[in-house]
Structure 1
Amino acid sequence: MFFSIIIPLYNRPQEINELLYTLTRQTYMQFEVLVIEDGSTLDARQIVESYAGKLDIRYFYKENEGQGFTRNFGFTHARGDYFIVFDSDCLIPKQYLEKVRNYLFEHELDAYGGPDAAHKSFTPVQKAISYAMTSPFTTGGIRGNKEHIGQFHPRSFNMGLSREVWEKTGGFILTRLGEDIEYSIRIHQSGFKIGLIPEAHVYHKRRTSFGQFYKQLHFFGRARINIYKHFPAELKAVHFFPAIFTLGLATVLLMHAIYLPLAYLGDALFSIYFLLIFFHALLQNKSLKVAFLSVIAAFTQLVAYGFGFIQDFFKRVVFK
């Protein structure tokens, strides 16, 4: 099996350098790499070309269109039997492609997704953000877990699809705001088989500060409403949790001004919830600092997603 690895890139030359280095260390080397610069002002041409003797690699520069259409551009130039999409802020374990190849030969998936994890080199903030996005105590628990709710939807930071899927579906029709979930749903509806490959994890850096993380998760909350506008049945009860959390937090703050007994009850419930997150993160990361930061990351994740969800729910669903 020959893989085509598609990596959209926008103003992140250092990230692509780290990602490409991990690809040189793969135990299975039957693959090409396509790096598509999406109208960047800080291009990575020299960095990508420095890997010419180490990888079967090609570099493209195009006008800015967003990550969805940039991946389509990569698909049209790919030579592989199977396409793999990574975000530029990922590090790839050296046995990743070998594990994917072996799994696909055994299970014959038309498309797949894999989970993400925190690398030991990540900063405490990055480890905390990774925890928040994968914890069972936050909405991140449904992303890449073996026990997932409903149909599994691969996410584009770690996603693969066969050439046949690309040719029959035409690729992404959205370029932002939940484009990977929308595409996964259409792949399902086209009759293709999608699955999770639990062993095919990547180390996903995500954001390096809570401010950046807030902006990203606010965008994700809005994206969920965008998916709803295309596929109403895909809006599940779990997707309302961050909005309920955010409204509950606002209610508790209001109760402190008008009815203290109810406010104290709310304080107790939120305290128990965040203590569970703290000790679970401590158990996973063996670090008091990461555990404390994980509470902040979880709070940031839920409030940001909740505000984004509420904003577009009223704007696009209630008031249309």
Structure 2
Amino acid sequence: MFFSVIIPVFNRPEELAELLRSLSVQSYQKFEAIVVEDGSGITSESVVRKFKNDISITYLVQSNQGQGFARNNGMSKAKGDFFIILDSDVILPRNYLWVLDEKIREKKLDAFGGPDAAASDFSSLQKAMDFAMTSFWTTGGIRGKLKDPSKYQARGFNMGVSKTVFLKTGGFADPNRGEDIEWSIRIKKAGFKLELVEEAFVYHKRKNTLISFAKQAFSFGRNRVNVSRFHSEAIKLVHLLPTAFSLFLVSMIPISMFFPSLFTFQLFLIGFWGGMIFLNSLIQYRSASVALLSIITSLTQLVCYGFGLVYEYLKKLVNG
């Protein structure tokens, strides 16, 4: 199978260099890479040039249109049988493409989504952010640990579709607001087989600061509502849990003043939740500092996602 690896990039030449380096040492070499520069002020042209002798690579430049449409541009120029879509801030394990080739054939997949992980050399904060985005205790576990892989909705940092799927469905319908989830739903509605391939994980370098991580989580909540504009069934009970958690935290203020016994019980629940996060993270990363940071990032992820969903839902009601 010949893969076309589609990589949109916006002002991230250093991260792109790491991704291209991991592509250049893949054990499976039947692929091309297409980098789509989406109106960047800091371009990646010099980075792409450095890998010309190591990878079959094409460099496309467009005005800023958003990552969804940048990916469409890349796929429209691709020569492969199967298109792999990656964000520029991921790094691939050496056997990533080999695993994909095997699993796509074995499962007879038309499309796939893969999970993400933190590499051992990532910073403590990046590991804590990875925990928050993948843990059972934050609802993040639905991203890459499903009992039924056919229920998975692929994310744009690590997903892929056959050329036939792209031609039949037309690619991404939105530039940058849950466009990956929307397309996943549409792919399944069109009768194609999309599943999680748990073995095809990527190392995902997330945001560099807690503030940028919070902004991203807030936008994820907003994005889920945006997807519901295309597919009314997109918001399920699990997506409301972060909002319920956030309202629970807010309720602790008045309850502490008027119902001290109930407030004590609330503190117990929050303490238990934080303790389980600390323990799980400690077991996973063997680092007390990462475990402590995981409590902070998990709290940030849930609260910001929850309020992002409420914000966009109210906006949807007002604007129609």
TM over 0.5, shorter chain: yes
The residue type equivalent to 2:131 in the other structure is: Y
Letter in 2 for 1:280: N
Matched residue, 1:216: 216
Amino acid aligned to 2:317 = V
How much does 1:101 deviate? 0.6
Cα deviation, residue 225, structure 1: 0.7
Amino acid in the other structure paired with 1:211: I
Structure 2 Cα separation of the partners of residues 283 and 152 of structure 1: 26
| Structure 2 residue runs without a partner (length 5+) | none
- 2:54 counterpart of 1:45: no
Is 1:259 aligned to residue 259 of structure 2? Answer: yes
Q: Deviations over 1:95-142 (max 9, x none)?
A: 000111111122210000111111011000000000111111111110
Partner of 2:289: 289
**Partners in 1 of 2:298 and 2:149 — Cα distance?**
20
- TM-score, reference length from structure 2: 0.97
Amino acid paired to 1:52: K
Shift of 1:200: 0.5
Name the CA distance, whole Å, in 1 between partners of 2:135 and 2:214.
Answer: 17
Deviation, structure 1 residue 148: 5.2
1:52-95 alpha-carbon deviations (Å, 9 max, x no partner): 00000011111001010000000111010000000011000010
> Matches of 1:149 and 1:265 in 2, distance apart?
37
Question: How is 1:116-135 mapped onto 2 (pairs within 5 angstroms)?
Answer: 116-135=116-135
Q: What is the match of residue 275 of structure 1?
A: 275
2:214–2:300: 8 Å Cα contact kept in structure 1? yes
* Shift of residue 33, structure 1, vs aligned partner: 0.3
Kindly state the Cα deviation for residue 269 of structure 1 after the two structures are TM-superposed.
1.0
Task: Work out the CA distance in 2 between the residues paired with 1:311 and 1:93.
Answer: 38
Kindly indicate whether the alpha-carbon contact (under 8 Å) linking 1:142 and 1:149 is maintained by their aligned counterparts in 2: no
> Contact 1:278–1:291 at 8 Å: present in 2 too?
yes
Deviation at 1:264, TM superposition (A): 2.0
What are the superposed Cα offsets for residues 184-204 of structure 1, whole Å, 9 maximum, x if unpaired? Answer: 000001010111111100001
Please say which of residues 308-317 and 254-263 is displaced more in the overlay: 254-263
Instruction: Indicate whether 1:115 and 2:115 are aligned.
Output: yes
Instruction: Name the CA distance, whole Å, in 2 between partners of 1:224 and 1:179.
Output: 10
**Where do 5+ consecutive residues of structure 1 fail to align?**
none
| Aligned equivalent of 1:159 | 159
Alpha-carbon distance in structure 2 between the residues aligned to 1:229 and 1:259: 40
Alignment of 1:172-183 (within 5 A): 172-183=172-183
CA distance in 2, matches of 1:33, 1:55: 7
Contact persistence 2:150–2:194 (CA under 8 A): no
1:137 partner SS: helix
CA 1:150 to 1:101, structure 2 compared with 1: closer, same or farther past 3 Å?
Answer: closer
Letter in 2 for 1:126: Q
Runs of 4+ in 1 over 4 A off after TM superposition: none
CA contact (8 A) 2:10 2:38 kept: yes
Q: Which residue of 2 aligns with 1:233?
A: 233
Shift of 1:266: 1.3
3-state SS, counterpart of residue 195 of structure 2:
strand
Pair 99,150 (structure 1): closer, same or farther in 2 beyond 3 Å: closer
CA contact (8 A) 2:150 2:195 kept: no
Distance in structure 1 (CA, Å) of the matches to 2:111 and 2:8: 19
Matches within 5 A, 1:71-150: 71-147=71-147
Mapped to 2, the partners of 1:132 and 1:70 lie a distance apart of: 28
Aligned residues: 320
Assess if the C-alpha contact under 8 Å between 1:142 and 1:148 holds in 2.
Answer: no
Shift in CA distance, 107/214, structure 1 to aligned 2, threshold 3 Å: same
- Cα gap change, 1:146 to 1:259, in 2 (>3 Å): closer
Between the aligned partners of 1:49 and 1:150, the Cα distance in structure 2 is 39
Calculate the aligned-residue CA RMSD, in Å.
Answer: 1.3
